[in-house]
Structure 1
Amino acid sequence: LEEESDSNPQAVLHRHNLAYIIYTSGSTGKPKGVGVAHHALVEHAQVAVGFFGLDSTDRMLQFSTINFDGFIEQLFPPLCAGAAIVLRGPVLWDSETFHRELIEKRITVADLTTAYWFMLVQDFARNEPRDYGLLRQVHAGGEAMSPEGLKAWCEAGFDGVTLLNTYGPTEAAVTATVSNCSDYWQGNNEISVQVPIGSPLAARRIYLLDANLTPVPPGISGELCIGGELLARGYLNRGGLTAERFIADPFDETGGRLYRTGDLARWRSDGQIEYLGRLDHQVKIRGFRIELGEIETQLLAQPEVREAVVVAREGAGASNPAGGARLVAYVSLHADAEMEVSRLREALGKILPDYMLPSMIVVLESLPLNPSGKVDRKALPEPEFTHTEHYEAPQGEAEEVLAGIWGQVLGVAEVGRHDNFFELGGHSLAILQVQQKLQQALSVALPLRLHFENPLLKDIASAIQEKRSRASEKDTEQADLLGMAELLDLLES
């Protein structure tokens, strides 16, 4: 090292060189690598400094993991502004941990997924408004923001904190549009059924187009297309897909490009954009973008499965009383083939992350078809939850309390001791809610991994009972030691 130069290395770099690749779900079972150039990263970092309002006094939470494009937005902009970054670590915080860290770490800006934000504000709204320290701005993005979330935000006492509803695909360098939600609790606007995603950021152009790539008038839905200089270069080693999604911009005389998001949206009369859903079968579950075809591909890879289709069920229903988007898989098996749903779920769990696992798997004799021979998704039956084994009621205090908590969090009327948390529709965010309610009810804190390693109610309840017993033994030992100390004091006196 002593022989090396003290000067900065001369990096030969062009603005269009690749800066990073982030993989998103792919419809063929093969994820797509989105490649973003250095100039797009640099320019977006400067734009983000602006709408974050960052300066050197800020402390921004690094919430997202490195494989999620939110990581880019939570790392580079604060560094460019000379601000501090607060690392979350590998464990997803529950609401109480989030509040404690918020105060102790003096966090001023937090950029969260919408699903996690919704869980936080719901928990905070159930209690009295509290002090949120130096927090001045929160961004929620990744999926549609609900009016219920805005109401909970107000009830939780966040009215002094700026809330931004953000939208943007990985292919457009993270965030493309922003909506300031402050008008809703300042009385300027009523909370609408569709919370707008706002208007485009600098260096982006938004077009809502029909099937002929003609702009649609306000109030009419169209495909949301993004133009400007900050688009990704394309998909790594996927020239055909790049040409399909990144097209020539017919409105740019300089030869720019448009990215076809596949999202459906419409202009409001005030110039804001309302997000309406997906044109295809791509969905977002808890902030993660998922191609349903990728799950279908893995189902069809199982030797026993003949047909498979996966749908996202939105809102409350018989199988989903708690509401929110859940994945439901429908399969039919080959003749004479047998396969238990639990074994099929176990096989998927070895391949797919937990947020891509269907909440329910329904086995049919055959999938319904429409006159053209394609699967008729509208004719798929509403799934009904049935216990995987014979129902057996919870036994003992720990099982009864835990069953009640699962029922509240997952919206299930009847929970048995042999029920599987994930087969009831559980997921990582739901575990945090269960953990918090367990702490309140039984003063027990369990490791997050326990639910993944032992998802049956009776097994988790057994761990709860064992931990309570150890705590009781420790209390008895401390009481004995205290008694001995008092006896020694008496003898000495």
Structure 2
Amino acid sequence: MCLSWNTHLLNTYGTTETTVDCTYRHVSLADVVSSQTSPFIPLGSPLPNYICHIMIDKDGDDETIGELYIGGPGVFSGYLNHGQRIETGEIEGTILREFRQQISAGLVIARDDRLVAYVQSRLSDTTIEQRVMEICRQHLPSNMIPSAIIVLDQFPLNANGKVDRSRLPSPLSLSAISSISETPQNDLEVELQSLWSQFSSLHVGFELL
């Protein structure tokens, strides 16, 4: 197909830790012909800033299956001995599954070098952050436990109806709120807290007012 359209076909390979691609091969006619008898097309050569080595046992021969080692500046900084895959979708799914009645939406993102879980709930439940954190600790590996749970009455949306991540509050900006949050003591305080929470889309502690 590529030959008939006079286009170029590249076979690239890489992993998340190497920022997607680290090798490439310009697929030739010979590769296409050989693919009729072999399902494999060579990975090709390393891209700039990458070094690739096929490592085999010292007693191995040419037919021995080895392991591909990738090095160089292109490998994600700090990857050595820290290969942990974080699935934000799994974290969101765990929260929504366990709190399907209380939480209508969830979003987990990396924010200020922290894993933050945003949950949408209109319930005036001051314990929801703690309960969500407990569920995450029970069902998720340690590297996938959010460092902060932020409850919003409603997620901010952009013109396309999608969550506007730039308008989500930072955990650092809310640290003061969580530390001085206090239960309203009378009807006026309840009304003031409700109005400010609606205005800011946050569960605002009365002492902050």
Indicate the structure whose relative CO is greater, using CA pairs within 8 Å and at least 6 residues apart: 2
Normalising by the smaller structure, the TM-score range is: 0.3 to 0.5
Normalised by the size of structure 2, how large is the TM-score?
Answer: 0.48
